[in-house]
Amino acid sequence: MAVEEAVAMKNKGNEAFKNKDWPAAIDFYTKAIELDDTQVSFYSNRAQANIKLEAYGYAIADATKAIEIDPEFVKAYYRRAVANTAILKHSDAIHDWKIVVRKNPADKVAKAQYEACQKLVKRAAFLKAIEIADPPSAAEGLDLENMVVEEAYDGVRLKDEMTQEFIDDMIERFKNGKKIHKKYVYQIILAVKDIVYNEPTMVETTVKPDQKLTVCGDTHGQYFDLLEIFRLNGLPTDTHAYLFNGDFVDRGSWSTEIALLLYAYKWLRPDKFFLNRGNHETDDMNRMYGFEGECKAKYNERVFKLFSESFSALPLATLIGDKYLTLHGGLFSDDNTSLDDIRKLNRHNQRQPGQSGLMMEMLWTDPQTAPGRGPSKRGVGLQFGPDVTKRFCEKNGLDAIIRSHEVRMEGYEEEHDGKCITVFSAPKYCDSTENKGAYINIESDLKLQFHKFDAVPHPDIKPMAYANNGMMSMMGM
């Protein structure tokens, strides 16, 4: 009887998977496993749903269990390889790709992935070998003053200061598939790099009477959905501030457009427009998930390098009205970590977050329902329970933390007794998840007002169109 019930649960999981409701699919596969833990397909299917939710650590564990049950089950090796590749553990992935190719020599996709993985490992070793402790800026030798914008350029001209007129024109150009002149791209990135470099690691802001602050989560290169936020909620103004909580780029194929538009607003209103760094404002993720390729395709390599420098200058958190700590990932491995530790963190000494430490935790961690701390479902960072959040908020006089970093089917979720709030602003994420997007409005009473919105149509360019070595096909997009 249990066996039949387990199969029924698996079938329900498959149905939810078909409908792109990954959390529901995982729930059904889990129930199937609880009823019958001997079926390789239950673990393999759950691994694939976890990949869709970017829970790569869980996917690796499920695929490993499937391989223990049946060492000949090729799909499990394939899924474990995909998950390891996704979290940049290429050396682990190579082992599994090799097995898949050996067992399925006719599988052209696996063969291409195996070869791509080998190249990635070689490239990583090469980059490490030529790494300079303090490399010269990509701005060196850039003579902006004498760079000519041709007469034929049909957009609004930019002088020494950002203008609303330039931004309005840029929004329309990007909507119509046009670019801005590369001189203006350089000007925008360099101006914003200087502004954010001089901001503290934790920016502190308040919401005055008759003003509003909107907090947005991941936008991931989904430019047309960003414009939908502005359409529904109003453009940034002197009385309407915005905070974008990381992961502006990668995956979606309009990442340069989003980064340039957000940067232009930052330049126009540095005290009314805030940007936190996310785990995708980092070199290794940009190389894998499309932003580097997109910069090169639309502009040039120097543009990517300048963006990279500006990303590493971004603040890591914003404190709103002394009540809400807003940061991309989440809380810390040590209960003694305080707001003062964030204030004191010199982010300029460490350009990339690395595999451990305060910066990595701020960009990578996730909440869990169980108390205490646990290993990360992503395979990077850690997870923190409601008790960890409660202690942190009490110790630092906070109402809640606001974080992003994870898809939520309703666009946002209040967890940990309302003290941990996730907001995610990329609806129909990667064109492959049936989630809503959300944003949070905060007025001077500091109450959180949640707003959900649906994805809007976009030109027919697939997500990850510029990603490294066929990542798109590998991730099943």
Does 309 lie in the same domain as 437? yes
Asked whether residue 156 is domain-assigned, the answer is no
- The CATH number assigned to the domain holding 48 equals 1.25.40.10
Q: In the annotation, is 348 catalytic?
A: no
Phi and psi for 75 in degrees, rounded to 5? -55, -35
Q: How many domains does the chain have?
A: 2
Domain co-membership, 76 together with 190: no
User: 1: which DSSP letter?
Assistant: -
How far apart (Å, rounded) are the C-alpha atoms in residues 301 and 295?
A: 7
| Residue from 213, 277, 293, 246 nearest 463 by CA | 293
**Average pLDDT of the residues in 334-344:** 98
Catalytically annotated residue among 280, 328, 405, 416: 280
Please check whether residues 430 and 310 belong to one and the same domain: yes
**Domain final position from 107, 130, 153:** 130
414 residue type, one letter: E
Q: Which two tokens stand for residue 196?
A: 């954010």
Q: Are residues 257 and 385 in the same domain?
A: yes
Q: What angle do CA 20, 26, 28 make, to 5 degrees?
A: 100
Residues 382 and 261 placed together within one structural domain of the fold: yes
One domain, residues 400 and 324: yes
Q: Quick one: angle between helices 301-313 and 182-197, nearest 10? A: 20
How far is it, in rounded angstroms, from Cα 423 to Cα 408?
Answer: 8
List, for residues 243-279, the tens digit of each pLDDT value.
Answer: 999 999 999 999 999 999 999 999 999 999 999 999 9
Reported as a pLDDT band with limits 50, 70 and 90, residue 469 is: low
Residues 153-211: pLDDT tens digits?
999 999 999 999 999 999 999 999 999 999 999 999 999 999 999 999 999 999 999 99
CATH code at position 329? 3.60.21.10
Angle at the Cα of 404 from the Cα atoms of 335 and 407, rounded to 5 degrees: 125
Nearest to 432, CA basis, from 25, 8, 139, 3: 25
CA–CA distance, 428 with 437 (Å, rounded to integer) = 8
On whether the pTM is more than 0.85, the answer is yes
Domain that holds residue 303: 164-474
Burial of 38 per CB tally in 10 Å (0-12, 13-18, 19+): exposed
- Kindly tell me if the per-residue pLDDT of 330 is higher than 50: yes
Tell me, yes or no, whether 72 and 180 share the same domain.
no
pLDDT of residue 313: 98
Compute CA distances 155 → 191, 262, 265, 412, whole Å.
Answer: 20, 18, 18, 37
Question: pLDDT (tens digit, 9 = 90+) per residue, 41-99?
Answer: 999 999 999 999 999 999 999 999 999 999 999 999 999 999 999 998 988 999 999 99
Residues 264 and 370 reside in one and the same domain: yes
Q: Determine what percent of the chain is predicted with pLDDT higher than 70.
A: 97
